[in-house]
């Protein structure tokens, strides 16, 4: 049914109208989002609305959520891009007036059947919602976040009619804290919770400054609600189809916990950055908690791969 719906949508590759932010006359071309606050907007058919957020630190993850006031799974499309902003591109009040990248190239590429790989993230079909609202998600992971960098969210009107929506940017620290040796398994110290939706990934990381002479580290991921597929442990590699030290299963009904310890077998525990990535199930959202714990030599000897 979705394929049939998308085929009847207008193909407007070269007929983009000027972007608008709200119905307020004289609104800037690019509207800054305040983290945690909902901002109303409306996008016309075949037009764009552009927003931006500025990363506060290198350690954070930024998520954009757009809630369309429409029951259509393809009510709009959203794309996230980054851009370098210099003083000449800022107005008197510090607002962005021009950007150094083509924020809208991804939509033309998609409609021409070419991969929209130029965007950091994108969403153009939303199975999450009901007959009156649809939720679209896109994010900037700590793989790409840089303090002071500008990240742009472009909303495109994909249907015949105008679509009203609400947009929000949130940011959270992606840095994991390790619980000290001897901590109780039920302690919340060193635990970080998160949420991820619709087949996307949440990336978090832990920096190990020195290779330990004894003991090890336990990496555990708990599904707390909703639907999650898997989690991945990587060394010095944030994302990609290869390079996993471990892949754990989180799929299924009820609460699920999966864990892994290092060192294990031929895999040593080296100094450096370790990434923990959690993937949501398609068409669903899931909440999780990640806990890292220092293990003594005796705890390491008693530990198992996966619970």
Map out the domains of the chain as residue ranges. Answer: 2-172, 175-302
Statement: residue 10 has pLDDT above 70: no
Could you give the C-alpha distances from 45 to 18, 40, 109, 254, in angstroms and in order?
A: 11, 17, 18, 42
Which CATH number describes the domain made up of 175-302?
2.60.120.380
More confident residue, 61 or 20: 61
pLDDT band at 99 (very low <50, low <70, confident <90, very high): confident
Structure tokens at 148: 């002071």
pLDDT of residue 276: 96
pLDDT of residue 180: 65
pLDDT band at 63 (very low <50, low <70, confident <90, very high): very high
Residues 6+ apart with CB under 8 A from 143: 203, 238, 239
pTM score above 0.85 = no
DSSP-derived letter for residue 126 is -
pLDDT of residue 22: 35
Could you give the C-alpha distances from 31 to 41, 133, 146, 229, in angstroms and in order?
A: 10, 23, 20, 35
pLDDT of residue 82: 85
Closest Cα to residue 290, out of 254, 268, 261, 259?
A: 259
Which CATH number describes the domain made up of 2-172?
2.60.120.380
pLDDT of residue 269: 92
Residues 6+ apart with CB under 8 A from 181: 215, 293, 294, 295, 296, 299
The reply to whether domains 2-172 and 175-302 share a CATH topology is: yes
Q: C-alpha dihedral over 170, 128, 8, 22, to 10 degrees? A: -30
Residues 13-30: pLDDT tens digits?
A: 222 223 323 333 334 478
């Amino acid at each position: 049914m979705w394929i049939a719906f998308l085929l009847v949508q207008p193909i407007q590759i070269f007929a983009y109208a000027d972007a608008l932010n709200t119905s307020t006359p004289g609104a800037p071309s690019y509207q800054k989002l305040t983290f945690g606050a909902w901002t109303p907007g409306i996008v016309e058919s075949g037009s764009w609305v552009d927003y931006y957020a500025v990363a506060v630190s290198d350690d954070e993850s930024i998520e954009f959520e757009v809630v369309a006031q429409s029951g259509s799974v393809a009510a709009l499309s959203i794309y996230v891009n980054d851009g370098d902003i210099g003083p000449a591109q800022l107005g008197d009040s510090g607002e962005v007036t021009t950007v150094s990248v083509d924020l809208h190239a991804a939509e033309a590429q998609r409609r021409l059947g070419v991969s929209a790989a130029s965007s950091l993230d994108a969403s153009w079909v939303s199975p999450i919602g009901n007959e009156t609202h649809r939720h679209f998600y896109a994010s900037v992971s700590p793989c790409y976040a840089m303090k002071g960098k500008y990240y742009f969210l472009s909303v495109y009107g994909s249907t015949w009619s105008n679509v009203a929506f609400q947009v929000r940017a949130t940011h959270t620290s992606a840095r994991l804290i390790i619980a000290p040796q001897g901590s109780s398994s039920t302690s919340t110290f060193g635990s970080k919770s998160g949420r991820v939706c619709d087949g996307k990934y949440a990336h978090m990381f832990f920096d190990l400054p020195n290779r330990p002479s004894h003991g090890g580290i336990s990496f555990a991921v708990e599904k707390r609600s909703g639907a999650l597929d898997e989690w991945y442990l990587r060394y010095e590699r944030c994302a990609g189809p290869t390079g996993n030290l471990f892949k754990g299963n989180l799929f299924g009904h009820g609460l699920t916990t999966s864990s892994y310890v290092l060192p294990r077998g031929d895999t040593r525990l080296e100094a450096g950055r370790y990434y923990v990535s959690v993937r949501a199930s398609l068409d669903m959202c899931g909440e999780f908690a990640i806990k890292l714990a220092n293990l003594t030599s005796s705890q390491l000897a008693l530990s198992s791969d996966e619970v």
